[in-house]
Amino acid sequence: MNKILIALVAAVSLFVGAIVGAFFIQSFAKQALILEHKSPYDYNKTVETIVSRINAKDGWKVISVIDQADEIKKGGGADVGKVTIVKYCNAKFAGRMLGSVERKKMAVSMPISIAIYEKSTGECVVSVSNGVLISKIYGGETEAIIENVSREVEEILDFMAFKFTRF
């Protein structure tokens, strides 16, 4: 009877631990995979600053600037407020990434996106994917390329004192 009780307590403990662990992992992932950073500028100046800084950075090019709010309205969607997506790329890094058959799947994440939006409080926020964290998932040469890209993205966004979290 004592062994059954011990086994039951162990099973329940493992189950509860797995549930609590999954909750914390999910909470962490929501905050860690996509990073938000407050801009020191208003919405329009933030969009202009990011676009000009990308285009001024050696090797980098803005591919498109999408007024997402306008596109949503054109499609019959609700007013979402000010939201712009800047798509940008560096041919050197893209060539390294896509130069291997094993890494061609990474094209789904290209070009890179930065979202700029205004919250209901009026503050302007910039969000980006956490390249440093994502790089750790893949490892190897993919990790090295993404980390190099992340360093340059930090330089582009340094007007906001932006830094990726490094583990």
Residue 19 forms part of a structural domain: no
What's the number of domains the chain is made of?
1
Residues 6+ apart with CB under 8 A from 21: none
Residue 140 forms part of a structural domain: yes
Residue 13 forms part of a structural domain: no
pTM: 0.80
Rounded Cα–Cα distance for residues 68 and 127 (Å): 14
Residues 49-63 pLDDT 10s: 999 999 999 999 999
Residue 2 forms part of a structural domain: no
> What pLDDT, on the 0 to 100 scale, is given for residue 51?
98
> What pLDDT, on the 0 to 100 scale, is given for residue 31?
57
Residue 119 forms part of a structural domain: yes
Question: Is 85 within 8 Å of 147 (Cβ atoms)?
Answer: no
Residues 127-161 pLDDT 10s: 999 888 888 888 899 999 999 999 999 999 999 88
> What pLDDT, on the 0 to 100 scale, is given for residue 131?
85
Question: The domain containing residue 52 runs over which residues?
Answer: 34-160
Rounded Cα–Cα distance for residues 37 and 48 (Å): 16
CA Rg, the chain, in Å?
A: 21
Residue 71 forms part of a structural domain: yes
> What pLDDT, on the 0 to 100 scale, is given for residue 167?
42
Token reading at 61: 């090019």
> What pLDDT, on the 0 to 100 scale, is given for residue 68?
96
Residue 29 forms part of a structural domain: no
What CATH number has the domain bearing residue 105?
Answer: 3.30.310.70
| Positions in the chain whose pLDDT score sits under 70 | 1, 5-32, 165-167
